[in-house]
Amino acid sequence: MENRINKLKWGKLIAISIGISAIALILSSSSLSLIPYPKTNNGSAYAIETENNSSNRNSNSNSNSNRTMGNVTADTIKKTSSSTSKSSFDSKLVTFASNIEKIKGHIEQAILNKKIGNDSLAEAHTLHPIAEIFSDITIQLADTNSDLNQTLSSSLNKLFRTVRNSTAEQFATEANHTNKVLDRTINEVVPSSNRNNSTFNLSVVADLLNTAKGEYGEAIENGKLSLIVEYQDAKGFISRAESVFNQTSSRIETQMVPKVQKINTMFSDLNKAVDNKSDTTTIDALINNTIREIAQTIGLTENQLLVSQGEAAATPATEESKKKSLQTVANVRILLNQTLEVYKAQNYVEAENLATKAYLENYENIEQDIAKFDQPLEKTIEVMLREDLRHAIQQKQPVEKIAQIIGNINNNLVKAENLLSTSKPELGLGSMNITDAQLTAATITPANQTLSTNSSLKMTNHTNTNTNTNTNTNTNTSASSTGYKKKVSITDEESDKPFNPSPLSVKAGDTVIWRNDDVEIHTVTSSGNSSSTFAMTNKNRELDSGPLNPRQTFEHTFEKPGNYNYFCMIHPSMTGEVVVDK
């Protein structure tokens, strides 16, 4: 009897020991993973949960194990380990997902502004995704689904056009449609293994917060709000970061609740500080602390969570390199124009010298950059510059032949410019169909402008008058039947004079022609007394160019004397003035 009791005691002890070991093993193997939460109007939502709980919930469900949750099967999530290493997902996809959320943030702000009747700000927030974000996502999207790329392009373009001719309710309906296309875009490009990973989604949150910090820093100057669009950008990005975080943490383990509550409180404090327009130091600290707390929640450092930070740091250098390449193309074009002029004057030696300079001192510096995108195009331009043009000059061919060769070179240079601009292309939005990493040239098209999708990018002018804007391009002032024409060059936003000249003095009846000589899209938009207020309504705008692609022009005839302030709606720090005398 005693031996039987002892055996039972030992049996219980062994069973307890085995049970404890099993529990420890289960706890140690359980890791954070994401399960899709039911879709909302703001897109797919996700939740942090342990794999064993996800498995238990699925096994207890009345549905079979292959039922879908959003776009992913429960069985797939069950098998997918969320303990993905810190570097196992592509940081480019984090940037892609973050860019989609930024577009949603802009749309969110556009809806709010439309509700209060500020069409100018609503229009600005629908234009920013077109001019500054779409170009960063279009290649990835087109490589995955070119039809969806065109659908998103059309949807964003339509939303921009809807601002002026819709009620707040109609605009919100169109915005909701665009958000649904954005949701499809995320599901199409970002694999489910990433969408269902907590680290991936929280990296998107961190990237949004980091970008919001930069936008807020631009908006507040010397403790005062100076750029309203950037301020609202920051609000929109923070809102989207909070939304993604809430979706990610909507279902969590009990022990995680205090950490999530703490982060929710930090978001609340951040929103209050932004609403109060606190100084940038305060906002920076709040955002940095929030990112740090989120990183610690999943056992990472801030830098590990900000997986796209390294790429972001490289962006200025990339942008600078792109601008240098595009400037080199512009230099080649200038030298070719000079070549033709001196050839017409029968100065054949100087013409050959200029043609040689265009090739050896300029084009050779960007050959490799063009070849990365289109090697046949690079070789075509090279042969035309190095051989065809120079041989024609040496043989003293007719001027028409020289002009024809230079014209062909310029057409190919336009194609090269489009390729070199792919990181922030001049293309804007229109009908886009990108295949095999080849961009089809397109333009943002105002309502009264014809869309051109020809690969040589045959530009059309967006004008308020019937005057031909392509005459006298080498002069700053020209006469017309109704007055004089004066020209303003639109350059880089960091330039001392982004609109040059400014202020510009003209007389009533004179016409001013603005030409976009930058590599980015700009606008010429009336601003009233201050560009940061966006006080002017669409109906009262004296100047309203809509988006101007590179090399595109806009002209306006001033009938009444006065001071006319204007700015770029995409880059509000760019301001100009026209002074009209009697």
The DSSP result for 262-328, as a single string, is HHHHHHHHHHHHHHTT--HHHHHHHHHHHHHHHHHHTT--HHHH-TTHHHHHHHHHHHHHHHHHHHH
Q: What is the mean pLDDT of the chain?
A: 74
Residue 323 shares a structural domain with residue 387: yes
pLDDT digits (tens, 9 = 90+) for 380-406: 898 899 889 999 999 999 999 999 999
Average pLDDT of the segment spanning 92-98: 91
Residue 292 shares a structural domain with residue 341: no
Residue 300 shares a structural domain with residue 370: no
Burial code (b: 16+ CB inside 10 Å, e: under 16) for 172-198 equals bebbeebbebbbbbbbbbbebbbbbbb
Residue 376 shares a structural domain with residue 278: no
Domain boundary among 373, 392, 420: 420
Euclidean distance between CA atoms 205 and 294, whole angstroms? 9
Domain boundary among 307, 324, 344: 307
Is residue 5 over pLDDT 50? no
pLDDT digits (tens, 9 = 90+) for 40-62: 334 443 434 333 333 333 333 33
Residue 211 shares a structural domain with residue 299: yes
- Give pLDDT, residue 429: 35
pLDDT band at 576 (very low <50, low <70, confident <90, very high): very high
Residue 297 shares a structural domain with residue 355: no
Euclidean distance between CA atoms 323 and 337, whole angstroms? 21
**421 against 180, higher pLDDT:** 180
Is residue 31 over pLDDT 70? no
Burial code (b: 16+ CB inside 10 Å, e: under 16) for 286-322 equals bbeebbbbbbebbebebebbbbbbeebeeeeeeeeeb
Residue 204 shares a structural domain with residue 301: yes
Q: In 177-245, at which residue ranges do the beta strands (DSSP E only) sit?
A: 220-221, 224-225
Q: Within a 10 A sphere around the Cβ of 280, how many other Cβ atoms? A: 15
Q: Per the domain annotation, does 352 fall within a domain?
A: yes
Q: Per the domain annotation, does 248 fall within a domain?
A: yes
Q: Per the domain annotation, does 432 fall within a domain?
A: no
Is residue 331 over pLDDT 70? yes
pLDDT band at 424 (very low <50, low <70, confident <90, very high): very low
Please give the distance of CA 18 from its chain centroid, rounded to a whole number: 56
Does the model's pTM come out above 0.75?
Answer: no
Of 322-331, 348-357, 364-373, 569-578, which has the strongest mean pLDDT? 348-357
Number of domains in the chain: 4
Domain carrying residue 302 = 198-307
Average pLDDT of the segment spanning 175-195: 94
Residue 259 shares a structural domain with residue 330: no
- Give pLDDT, residue 254: 66
Helices 399-420 & 375-383 angle (0-180, nearest 10): 150
CA atoms within 13 A on the CB side of 526: 15
Euclidean distance between CA atoms 471 and 478, whole angstroms? 9
Euclidean distance between CA atoms 468 and 416, whole angstroms? 27
pLDDT digits (tens, 9 = 90+) for 513-547: 999 888 778 889 887 654 444 444 445 678 888 88
Residue 319 shares a structural domain with residue 416: yes
Q: Per the domain annotation, does 78 fall within a domain?
A: no
Name the nearest CA neighbour of 513 among 562, 547, 478, 549.
478
- Within 8 A by CB and 6+ apart from 573, the residues are 218, 227, 493, 498, 531
- Give pLDDT, residue 395: 92
**573 against 441, higher pLDDT:** 573
The backbone torsions φ and ψ at residue 251, rounded to the nearest 5 degrees and listed phi first, read: -130, 115
User: Contacts for 543-546 with beta carbons within 8 Å, 24 or more apart?
Assistant: 545/446, 545/462, 545/514, 546/444, 546/446, 546/447, 546/449, 546/462
Contact 515, 487 (CB under 8 A): yes
Q: Per the domain annotation, does 507 fall within a domain?
A: yes
Contact 463, 554 (CB under 8 A): yes
Please give the distance of CA 345 from its chain centroid, rounded to a whole number: 47
Domain boundary among 395, 420, 445: 420
Q: Per the domain annotation, does 115 fall within a domain?
A: no
Residue 303 shares a structural domain with residue 254: yes
Write down how long the chain is: 582
CATH number for 548: 2.60.40.420
- Give pLDDT, residue 252: 62
Residue 319 shares a structural domain with residue 239: no
pLDDT digits (tens, 9 = 90+) for 227-281: 888 999 999 999 999 999 998 887 666 677 888 899 999 999 999 999 999 999 9
Residue 375 shares a structural domain with residue 328: yes
CATH number for 286: 1.20.120
Q: Per the domain annotation, does 497 fall within a domain?
A: yes
Q: Per the domain annotation, does 560 fall within a domain?
A: yes
- Give pLDDT, residue 488: 92
